[in-house]
């Protein structure tokens, strides 16, 4: 029942965000004549700042799939990232393409943008809250009891994030571009997880 309610709430929140971004997406592209849809694949390196019993960063390499549309000045992308060890996210990104060329090179264009998304992440290091003072023996005892009764810890495994993106678009062919970008996300409503940052390498095919 708890899991069902979680998915219902997640679905409502997701639908509201999608409606908001589709409205923004439409308003941005309504002023442009040419629109270029594309699909793509991504590989991201995420450095995840975890605040549990000890503060440390966990590094993940995540694959993803993407759909987007681009004009001469704007780009909007929807990206789903997934990884077998417990990381999933859905991200909506709106970028402003800053220049028609960089240092006289027409095939390289810089951009800056904003992102909003949802994350689901399961990690053993998120099991304990730093604000709760519990001895290691007590933690081990609680963990054993939970395993014996097939129960699990009541911990956060999901939240949402917003952040910035900076990068370069490199046109390698008439209908293919390579995107190299940096992202920084501030994570909210996810106890024990503070922020995510890293690099994303994407290959887009325009159709």
| Each residue's pLDDT tens digit, 74-127 | 999 999 999 887 899 999 999 999 987 766 677 899 999 999 999 999 877 776
What is the Rg, in whole angstroms, of the alpha carbon atoms belonging to the chain?
20
3-class SS at 104?
Answer: coil
Beta carbons of 90 and 80 less than 8 angstroms apart: yes
DSSP character for 105?
Answer: B
3-class SS at 141?
Answer: helix
Tens digit of each residue's pLDDT (9 = 90 or more) over 37-74: 999 999 999 999 987 656 677 889 999 999 999 998 89
Region at 192 (left for phi over 0; alpha for psi -120 to 50; beta for the rest): left
3-class SS at 131?
Answer: coil
The CATH code of the domain at 2-126+158-206 is 2.40.160.20
Residues 4-9, mean pLDDT to the nearest whole number: 50
Tens digit of each residue's pLDDT (9 = 90 or more) over 163-185: 999 999 999 998 999 999 999 99
Strands, DSSP E only, in the chain? 36-51, 55-70, 74-83, 87-97, 108-121, 158-173, 176-188, 193-206
């Amino acid at each position: 029942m708890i899991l069902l309610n979680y998915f219902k709430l997640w679905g409502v929140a997701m639908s509201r965000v999608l409606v908001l971004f589709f409205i923004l997406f439409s308003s941005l592209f309504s002023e442009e004549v040419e629109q270029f849809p594309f699909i793509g694949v991504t590989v991201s390196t995420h450095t995840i700042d975890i605040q549990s019993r000890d503060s440390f960063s966990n590094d993940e390499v995540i694959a993803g799939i993407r759909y987007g549309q681009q004009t001469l000045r704007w780009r909007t992308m929807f990206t789903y990232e997934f990884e077998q060890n417990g990381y999933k996210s859905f991200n909506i990104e709106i970028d402003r393409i800053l220049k028609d060329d960089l240092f006289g090179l027409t095939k390289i264009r810089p951009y800056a943008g904003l992102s909003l998304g949802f994350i689901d992440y399961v990690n053993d290091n998120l099991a304990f809250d730093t604000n709760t003072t519990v001895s290691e023996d007590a933690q081990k005892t609680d963990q054993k009891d939970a395993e014996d009764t097939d129960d699990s810890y009541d911990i956060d495994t999901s939240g949402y994030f917003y952040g910035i993106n900076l990068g370069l678009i490199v046109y390698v062919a008439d209908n293919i571009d390579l995107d190299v970008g940096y992202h920084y996300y501030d994570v909210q409503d996810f106890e024990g997880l503070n922020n995510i940052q890293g690099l994303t390498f994407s290959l887009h095919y325009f159709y």
